[in-house]
Structure 1
């Protein structure tokens, strides 16, 4: 099917999940502006009708719930059947969950991991054989500064992003020899609608955690529409990173993300050095 595409694509072919809002929409629009073709995946593709009408033949809305493995296979096969290739996969679909670790239910944890880890992993595995065959491609994993460190109230979200980043770090080394790039994007607070509407769920509170989790419960929704980050500038930065001769493995976006990640790295080094002697003292003596 991929050897006999129905139509020639303009520019690169992108497959973007969660393309109807936030970073997904900004990336789709940036790719279109660059002259590329976008297969825009969303659970409600009808929300992409206006964008598709503005770019006939170059933006194709498709229905996709990334927690549905059968649908993942179908969308990848349909895209290959239509265009013969997929040049860039952007795993962007996601949502938030606020709560203390003790508050989360198994269902909440498993559902979030399905959305942020197992879905992107399945999509990545689905496109890799074709990228390897064509000797090129890129996988963009939309993580978060919360994929590098965590703080009270966002343990579940960070856990899913930590898992995705660990998988992607290994993946990048595995596929580099095939001409495939892997880019992990770690945004801070951007005006994407993530903190408002239905994109941010909350666990059932336990009163004892109110002093430490309460400020996050109120602060994140209250920040909606006031975040410093510009999604269009983030999308431009992602395209620039992909086009660079040496694409970074991780790309922190936003002053808040850059500052917080650098601070976290500095703190981690200080702690490791403080306990270095203890850590080095746990081997058998040399020669034994």
Structure 2
């Protein structure tokens, strides 16, 4: 059966690659992004019968439902929601103004929730659907100079895990995809944001921008292969609730899990000491 995809942040990067992969698979795609002109240019060669480009800023709650209604009016249903729209707010926490923190959460967290609240009624009526939240290995591990960004991705991990249990009775799957470092625009000046100031105590170790900039264009992950992986996930009868993407993500998570297990064993007696007496 031909699926209908609703993809946020489809104007470039991973979102655009996922949209192209879904179209190549023969599916319908609702490609959304803040710039309609960018979407139209990006997908100028796509079959207009299977593509609906829509301007959508996920941070603005009022835009979510009209976009979903337009998608359903055009294609009749939504089978796969890909919550991809996000960006990276980098910087040590003390260097990031609270207004910038709020903007990061508006897009990376509340934007996902806006889309879920608009799309889930459609999927519940269908008694079928698949929500794919593009998280990050930063939602499992902390990275120096990325505390705000990681906080948003930790939120997506908790949201996805809980949502999976809420939606299971309705035949709706939830998968959190956790990429490592992929060669996208994430670290480009057009996407990444750094703190508004530099504090000398932190800068003595080098600035956050100095730490991350050398990785730009050298990331290990291939976004086209990630897009193909997402299409494959959407075709599974029993998809995983979490899936790491990239050998770097696997290696870092494996080390973190081993450390967590060691800590669990080391502090078990102290952890269990808080129970009521038998």
What is the TM-score normalised by the length of structure 2?
0.95
Structure 1 residue 146 displacement after superposition: 0.2
Aligned to 2:37: 46
1:272 and 1:70 map into 2 onto residues whose CA distance is: 44
Q: Deviations over 1:209-238 (max 9, x none)?
A: 124462x42232222211111111111112
Give secondary structure in 2 for the equivalent of 1:54: coil
Q: Secondary structure at the match of 2:187?
A: coil
Aligned to 1:158: 150
- Residues of 2 paired with 1:43 and 1:79: CA distance? 16
203-212 vs 13-22, which moves further: 203-212
Alignment of 1:164-175 (within 5 A): 164-175=156-167
CA contact (8 A) 1:99 1:213 kept: no
Q: Please list every run of at least 4 consecutive aligned residues from structure 1 whose deviation after the TM superposition is greater than 3 angstroms.
A: none
CA RMSD in angstroms, aligned pairs only:
1.4
Deviations 1:123-151 (A, max 9, x none): 01111111011111111111110011112
Residue of structure 2 aligned with 1:19, choices 7, 10, 21: 10
Partners of 2:132 and 2:175 within 8 A in 1: yes
Q: Contact (CA 8 Å) 1:152, 1:213: kept in 2 or not?
A: no
Q: What SS does the aligned partner of 2:220 have?
A: coil
Structure 2, unaligned runs of 5 or more: none
1:2-37 deviations in Å (ceiling 9; x for gaps): xxxxxxxx9211111110111101100110011001
Total equivalences in the alignment: 276
Moved more, 55-64 or 141-150: 55-64
Residue 200 of structure 2 corresponds to residue 207 of structure 1: yes
- What does residue 187 of structure 1 align with? 179
- TM value normalised by structure 1: 0.92
Please show how residues 133-144 of structure 1 align to structure 2 within 5 Å.
133-144=125-136
